[in-house]
Chain A
């Protein structure tokens, strides 16, 4: 492949300054820069500005049968935007406009490269009474990729995964055609995926291997005037989880319902590795930290909701102090970025603390993060905790109850120093062990899976289902150019 002639061809599409094969530019696409996954290889990086330009790029990739990787921030816990087989990385961040906000049907139509910072900044300025559900990921990450990969938001109890916040898509297929999925395929409205055949499913959960999404409508939500964030602590995870599950079935205006263990909270405090307690439980520290966020339209309604939440918490012997009170209980120099999470303490999401909390200042972090049955919350934690402690790492556990309590997310983060090859090696071993252990729990399925987990998915999927997935992938991407080496459809 003569890169220079392809670069010249691509330059005619987007302009020479937005296409590069220079090593300094490529370098930043080779790596995820967060995970312990191996580096990839970017041959050419390009930044289109329109869907039409994306179409032309895809046509060139087909002509030369070279891989093409859709990309917004390139950071996710599975390195699924890392180019595994070289080729062209299509960095979508010039396509970062919010095109329309429909307050009546409560959705925003955004372009494929819109970041959380772009989205929130726009809504705050132009539609201050509405908000998006946003992730714990940093503000520079992409909204649409997050939704397509089942990222989850601070409205997870209310609306489910990011994929469930998607009303419709505009996609450039791997063969270059532009299609639309949802109500937008036959009207100017992007209010939903119903009542047509839901072809959005051809692009959700495929890790960017079936097309490049150039537009999507995302559900937005009203900012209700009353809100309280409760932050109850309990001695052990098993003490608090039954309380969460009861709350999940009680309504009460709960928009977000989650828990972390103390290991995760320590990383929010931004301690460096030397100060982190490997096993906070052995020091007598509480290991269950819940978060219950409730919102209401009237003061009376809010009071009733809060009273009922407190009553349920107390049934389990747990006092639900509010987030501002709990944060104030930490000395200022030990608060880290705890206060960044809650509006009442000045925070707002997406949160600007990525480098601190997740990596305990070593720059690296990866998870085994799974969608799961709520029956597995405690068992998952116990298994992963044991493995982390065996390797001398502080277990960082996090669980979010989703969509009215219909399922949950369970995940264990592992921090490492990405400048230390031994620590990277150890981290890979821990991740493998946790993954293998939690697979024994039926119902546990990893999301944003790295390549080595994808193989496990393939092995476990019903053969007929797997065959269908592979046939769909081949049908959509006959030259296998779209993010090859990633996703369950890859051969």
Chain B
């Protein structure tokens, strides 16, 4: 027995302990709103979803709610509005859809909720609601529709020409035409963050990996799927999977968090496209190489950094450690965590179609994260998602802090 008189006052951590809750219902994922209707009313709008409860402090976690302010923009409000819709208490309106689209689906909210079915499945009905909005003709938002139309013509959401997709490839990048491994570059990297593509390709060359890049690579479908346009996204996915199969691809490495999640999770689990291809996010691949002592770093980068968890590999896929391990292994890199990290990381505000349709919300989220990063005294925000990187670059003012993709730092450290 503990000698209680020796126990000093210890501040509690208030950490999520959902695993201690009995009688948890096991539900299917990726279902429609109707499927989840008997769970939604469990929410009491208690507000737990708004705040992270960690030893380092208690902090707000929801960009949508902190920007929109009204309860409807927090998870609790969305749960109960969904209940209102499925129980006939509320009607669909344009504004209703608008509220649900003002969310980057970062899922920081569900990490906090202690009701197991909401903790485990709220992300499903947030997506199901968008899917339903599209069916009812209230979604997607006009800007999202515009980029979707462009994807159908030019296979990217950036209003760029498909023929220009691989313009970033420089003559020094060596490819193996018959490789079974491809580097899936993604739209953002191809058109907006070419340095990430170059760095990734150069890393693969340095490691003497046989790989190739599809000249006809197309959008993975993530921006279409995340805005509730499931059928259109599925068609994109089918095209891509057919292409992979025809080319005999066995392994895909991508430097994009969104592409990774879509290829690895959405294609098989949502669309039923069991492609059987191994999908790796670049930090996972590098982590493996580090374990096998197959990477030699030649340069000391001498930099204080902080790491921003992209939602698409963090909360969506559970990848928190590989990027940190890689970052910590680079000579001269010091990693200082932001208070809101890993499961509780504050979203950069670019995902879920928010950056195209709700620019004010998107900038609000980015600026909050940039301020948090600056408070760590780090010189640079490092992430491993080109969309996060681009968001930071767009919102950082006067070079107040630098920002890099992890691939860029790895490449700098490797180069001899």
Main secondary structure of the interface of A (DSSP, over half): mixed
In the complex, residue of chain A having the shortest beta-carbon distance to the beta carbon of B6: A299
Count A-B pairs with CB separation below 8 Å.
Answer: 218
- Residues in B whose Cβ lies below 8 Å from that of A340: 12, 14, 17
Flag if B115 contacts A361 (CB, 8 Å). yes
- Residues in A whose Cβ lies below 8 Å from that of B19: 332-333
- Residues in A whose Cβ lies below 8 Å from that of B99: 24
Of B47, B81, B87, B91, the residue contacting A139 (CB under 8 A) is B47
CA separation between A356 and B80, bound complex, in Å?
A: 16
Flag if B91 contacts A23 (CB, 8 Å). yes
Q: Which of A11-44 contact B (CB under 8 A)?
A: 17-18, 20, 22-25, 27-29, 31, 33-34
* Total chain B interface residues with beta-carbon distance under 8 A: 60
- Report if A274 contacts B (CB, 8 A): yes
Flag if A27 contacts B15 (CB, 8 Å). no
Q: Which of A344-383 contact B (CB under 8 A)?
A: 344-348, 351-356, 358-359, 361-363, 365
Flag if A336 contacts B44 (CB, 8 Å). no
Flag if A124 contacts B72 (CB, 8 Å). no
- Residues in A whose Cβ lies below 8 Å from that of B76: 140
Flag if B48 contacts A138 (CB, 8 Å). yes
CA separation between A340 and B12, bound complex, in Å?
A: 8
- Report if A5 contacts B (CB, 8 A): no
- Residues in A whose Cβ lies below 8 Å from that of B44: 33-34, 75, 138, 354-355, 358-359, 363, 365
Supposing A24-B93, A93-B69, A269-B22 touch, asked if A121 and B51 sit within 8 A by C-beta, the answer is yes
Flag if B41 contacts A28 (CB, 8 Å). no
Q: Which of B1-59 contact A (CB under 8 A)?
A: 1-2, 4-17, 19-23, 38, 41-48, 50-51, 53, 57-59
- Report if A335 contacts B (CB, 8 A): yes
In the complex, residue of chain B having the shortest beta-carbon distance to the beta carbon of A230: B4
- Residues in A whose Cβ lies below 8 Å from that of B91: 23
In the complex, residue of chain A having the shortest beta-carbon distance to the beta carbon of B15: A346
CA separation between A31 and B87, bound complex, in Å?
A: 14
- Residues in A whose Cβ lies below 8 Å from that of B414: none
A58 CB to nearest B CB, Å = 20
- Report if B190 contacts A (CB, 8 A): no
CA separation between A74 and B45, bound complex, in Å?
A: 9
Flag if B9 contacts A226 (CB, 8 Å). yes
- Residues in B whose Cβ lies below 8 Å from that of A124: 11, 57-58
B339 CB to nearest A CB, Å = 9
Flag if A228 contacts B7 (CB, 8 Å). yes
Flag if A225 contacts B41 (CB, 8 Å). no
- Residues in B whose Cβ lies below 8 Å from that of A228: 4-5, 7
CA separation between A23 and B324, bound complex, in Å?
A: 45
Of A31, A75, A269, A322, the residue contacting B4 (CB under 8 A) is A322
In the complex, residue of chain A having the shortest beta-carbon distance to the beta carbon of B11: A343
Of A45, A306, A321, A361, the residue contacting B42 (CB under 8 A) is A361
- Residues in B whose Cβ lies below 8 Å from that of A94: 69
- Residues in B whose Cβ lies below 8 Å from that of A359: 42, 44
In the complex, residue of chain A having the shortest beta-carbon distance to the beta carbon of B5: A303
A27, A272, A324, A419 interface centre (most CB from chain B within 10 Å)? A27
A41 CB to nearest B CB, Å = 13
Of B5, B45, B72, the residue contacting A25 (CB under 8 A) is B72
In the complex, residue of chain A having the shortest beta-carbon distance to the beta carbon of B50: A140
CA separation between A226 and B69, bound complex, in Å?
A: 40
Flag if A139 contacts B5 (CB, 8 Å). no
- Residues in B whose Cβ lies below 8 Å from that of A91: 70-71
The 6 closest A-B pairs by CB, nearest first: A140-B47, A348-B12, A121-B58, A138-B46, A272-B23, A227-B9
Q: List 29 A-B contacts (CB under 8 A).
A: A17-B69, A20-B70, A23-B93, A27-B80, A27-B81, A29-B71, A74-B45, A93-B69, A94-B69, A115-B47, A117-B51, A138-B44, A139-B46, A141-B47, A226-B8, A228-B4, A306-B4, A334-B22, A337-B21, A339-B20, A340-B17, A343-B10, A354-B46, A354-B114, A355-B44, A356-B115, A359-B44, A363-B43, A419-B87
Give the interface of A toward B (CB within 8 A). 17-18, 20, 22-25, 27-29, 31, 33-34, 45, 47, 73-75, 91, 93-94, 115, 117, 120-121, 124-125, 138-141, 223-228, 230, 269-272, 274-275, 295, 299, 302-303, 306-307, 321-322, 324-325, 332-337, 339-340, 342-348, 351-356, 358-359, 361-363, 365, 417-419
